Structure 1
């Protein structure tokens, strides 16, 4: 398998291909993503341990969602159990690697959160809201702490963007998979910038439309209710596009079993 270097305009292709994958089976992809949210919600109900388990399972779930995208393109049925394919279909070694990777991800995320909290003490209330005090009624919360946390998470995202699938699908060790993931994102950083800006623009447009509707209706609950399904659809589309970035950054005989996204 070889690492590709693509031009910046490829970021638009990844964005568009994510929408294409979603359109192939929107109900199945939404059900898969909703199942993930349900599991996260159930785990989060467990004090402290639930949040740790959620972070620990991120790499495994990442493989599962990528497998769902692959299966959709192959015309196969997908469902909630597809999310567990990373732990079920690749043997004990891959399972151990994914769990170790989850532990490394947990440590990295904790360090980022600690650094962000040192810069802005309000970030814990915004990123991990637990009975946190809110502002005035009807006042939108400040996005600065969340934006700060997301910016600091970019290096962590580079390390783990491809690492889970490299480990599970291509029998790569944890350290090597993390390094290759970072190298792939860095080498194609221009395309990733375009890709990220396009998703950011789409989400801002949707958020702005909901905010305008919120103002026009005088703070009615309808815009807030509309934001929930919009957010679910947008996030699912974003997750679908991860598979497109994987196809766009790697090539070779090992990739023959992975279907391309139709033009």
Structure 2
């Protein structure tokens, strides 16, 4: 395995190729993303350990969507079933190392939340992990803000360590612990491209959010005026569905960041 150093402009290429791969089989990607999110949601309902189990599934979800993208990026357009099965086969083939990677992610993420709890007594962690109520007074409090920024600062290196880790485990057979080190080094060396990639996706999400908000607002307004039965409910569905579709599009692009960062040696 050899690390590739890419120019910063490659980040824009990763976004374009990801959108192109998503467009090959959009329904397959959306269905796959909804499937994994349903698993995460069900796992989160388990008493006491639900949040930890849900966190353990996230690296597996990343691998599944990466494998689906690799299949969709093949020269010949694959059928939707092949894209879906590629994700499931990848997860099944590396179930044990992915379980180890999931445990590491859950432990380290909960460690980040525990450190942030030192600033505000765990209020931010409660809101983030358990969906606790977030009031304006709480959000504006100094302690909550310190906990928020502490968690964000600690999560950045954690996310870099896990960015390529599932793909390294699957395609290069790197042990889970070593994959975290190689992933962090690769992200650090190609930080310019990842920064461009992140900025472009941020712009895409903001633009899509504005459009979805306008559509949802119009539907809610129509419902308030009695124009169109169920228009208000449809507005909320547009926002939620649109956000999930955008997330699926984002995950479809992550495989290209891995593909261009490593070569088989």
TM over 0.5: yes
1:244 to 232, 237, 256: 256
Counterpart of 2:182 in structure 1 is 180
Q: How does 1:88-127 map to 2 (within 5 A)?
A: 88-89=92-93, 94-120=94-120, 121-127=122-128
Counterpart of 1:128 in structure 2 is 129
Query: What's the RMSD between the two structures over aligned residues?
Result: 2.9
Q: How does 1:1-263 map to 2 (within 5 A)?
A: 1-74=1-74, 75-76=78-79, 77-78=81-82, 82-89=86-93, 94-120=94-120, 121-130=122-131, 132-135=132-135, 149-211=151-213, 223-252=235-264
- Higher percent of residues as helix: 2
What is the TM-score of this pair, normalised by structure 2?
Answer: 0.80
Deviation at 1:203, TM superposition (A): 1.4
Q: What do the CA deviations read for 1:154-184 (whole angstroms, capped 9, x no partner)? A: 1111111111121122111222211111111
Q: Which 5+ residue runs of structure 2 have no aligned equivalent?
A: 225-231
Q: Find the aligned partners of 1:209 and 1:163 in 2 and give their Cα distance.
A: 34
Deviation at 1:233, TM superposition (A): 1.2
**Is the CA contact 1:210–1:224 (under 8 Å) kept in the aligned structure 2?**
no
Indicate the larger mover: 204-213 or 175-184: 204-213
Q: Find the aligned partners of 2:4 and 2:196 in 1 and give their Cα distance.
A: 17
Q: What do the CA deviations read for 1:78-108 (whole angstroms, capped 9, x no partner)? A: 466544333422xxxx433221111111111
Structure scoring higher RCO (CA < 8 A, sep ≥ 6) equals 1
What is the TM-score of this pair, normalised by structure 1?
Answer: 0.80
Q: 1:147 to 1:40 in 2, by over 3 A?
A: farther
Count of residue pairs the alignment pairs up: 244
Counterpart of 2:229 in structure 1 is none
Q: Which 5+ residue runs of structure 1 have no aligned equivalent?
A: 254-263
Q: 1:49 to 1:82 in 2, by over 3 A?
A: farther
Indicate the larger mover: 6-15 or 222-231: 222-231
